[in-house]
Structure 1
């Protein structure tokens, strides 16, 4: 049975950038320029701070004078403490999955996700239910869709992850402990779009349902 996200997805929100193959490929030319001269070799992480949390049905405020972009993503809820977990054991530490809309201002650099772009009030919407892992047997073959005013604006599949869920958990838990209730936001695919006040924004993930938020002016 699904469980309320407000009861079990209560920990830190860890975002993973560049976790879709198409997005990574589209930025390779940029990454090969100085000063880095190569793509990131480890997961590129950012944190959505507690003030960013909002829920299904709540309005999201578009900052005045800024572009606002939704970010459809699969959220992975940690079910028990994970420290130095082997990849083959990682899914045993997952309680379930939810839908995330990781709102952001446009990102200038994926190497250094900006707090100003990522951590505005209400910039991380979570669906109201966590679907248990046993009810999502094919987490790496889920269809994500972003709809704006009923029109599909983004569509992709978790089959295009750069790093699988077990690999993410293994790599992150190698240097930091993941706790029960933490949420891994597994990445937003390429093709982010702008939304404006008055827009109705929906994220759908196959088998998980939908998450809806309206956009309002500051």
Structure 2
């Protein structure tokens, strides 16, 4: 099922997306079981929002083998985890604001995992049972600040730096899923989650040794090779097999 969060006539709704038709739900799919209502909306007539409002947003660095290679860094023996600000999250068709044009600020297409129930000390074998579903993510990153700070929080937490969406897909094989990013119509990243160094099950097991994840929280799983800089006016599209296309633009 594809869950979608959207605004229509000033009111936020939660729905199930089938084709271009949204069937409204009787509640928030993050909070628990929901039922479909008889009310329907057309996808083209609503504002699609980020499908979750995470209380915790965290990411994994250097988690694709080819990306580590292009960065000239060794493969990490353990997942390299770091926290991001949830206030950076935006949704479908929203603008990305570059705080300065003097820094190199890169796109990073990522598979994002949305947590479905409280998770602490989960095993790899049970990890996927704690997942509500998956969405597209873009881990916008200021490379100058990354080098300056060493740690990544500031470089990746500016407002608008974390596009998520357009939906949460509940039926997906995260171990073998195509992921692609185009910049102004040109393919820049084209890979598969089979290139992940640490798969989703391993990531959840390691992360929940450290912290407790709550429903709606998001884990961004790392980016493939092909990262590159953004400029004002750029248009981005991230497509993940089975989920759909996350579209954003860079404000001029």
- Structure 2 length as normaliser, TM-score? 0.76
Compute the displacement of 1:42 (Å).
2.2
Per the alignment, residue 104 of structure 2 pairs with 67
Per the alignment, residue 10 of structure 1 pairs with 53
Please give the alpha-carbon distance, in whole angstroms, between the structure 2 residues aligned to 1:5 and 1:42. Answer: 34
Q: 1:160 aligns with which of 183, 188, 195?
A: 195
What 5-or-longer segments of structure 2 have no aligned partner? 7-27, 31-51
- Contact kept, 8 Å, 1:5 with 1:127, in 2: the verdict is no
- Contact kept, 8 Å, 1:84 with 1:170, in 2: the verdict is yes
Query: Aligned pair 1:79/2:79, yes or no?
Result: no
- Contact kept, 8 Å, 1:48 with 1:118, in 2: the verdict is yes
- Contact kept, 8 Å, 2:166 with 2:244, in 1: the verdict is no
Query: Aligned pair 1:127/2:170, yes or no?
Result: no
Please give the alpha-carbon distance, in whole angstroms, between the structure 2 residues aligned to 1:149 and 1:27. Answer: 24
Q: Give 1 or 2: higher strand fraction.
A: 2
Query: Aligned pair 1:141/2:161, yes or no?
Result: no
Deviations 1:66-92 (A, max 9, x none): 222111000111111111111111111
- Please identify runs of 4+ aligned residues in structure 1 that moved more than 4 A: none
- Contact kept, 8 Å, 1:75 with 1:99, in 2: the verdict is yes
- Bigger drift between 78-87 and 7-16 goes to 7-16
Q: 1:169 to 1:215 in 2, by over 3 A?
A: same
Please give the alpha-carbon distance, in whole angstroms, between the structure 2 residues aligned to 1:159 and 1:41. Answer: 17
Please give the alpha-carbon distance, in whole angstroms, between the structure 2 residues aligned to 1:189 and 1:119. Answer: 20
- Contact kept, 8 Å, 1:87 with 1:166, in 2: the verdict is yes
- Bigger drift between 183-192 and 59-68 goes to 59-68
Per the alignment, residue 56 of structure 1 pairs with 92
- Contact kept, 8 Å, 1:56 with 1:211, in 2: the verdict is yes
Please give the alpha-carbon distance, in whole angstroms, between the structure 2 residues aligned to 1:162 and 1:42. Answer: 9
Q: Secondary structure at the match of 1:69?
A: strand
Compute the displacement of 1:58 (Å).
0.4
Number of residues of Structure 1 aligned to a counterpart in Structure 2: 205
Compute the displacement of 1:40 (Å).
4.0
What 5-or-longer segments of structure 1 have no aligned partner? 32-38
Looking at CA atoms only, which structure, 1 or 2, has the larger radius of gyration?
A: 2
Deviations 1:17-38 (A, max 9, x none): 011011234455x55xxxxxxx
Q: Secondary structure at the match of 2:210?
A: coil
Aligned-pair RMSD on alpha carbons? 1.9
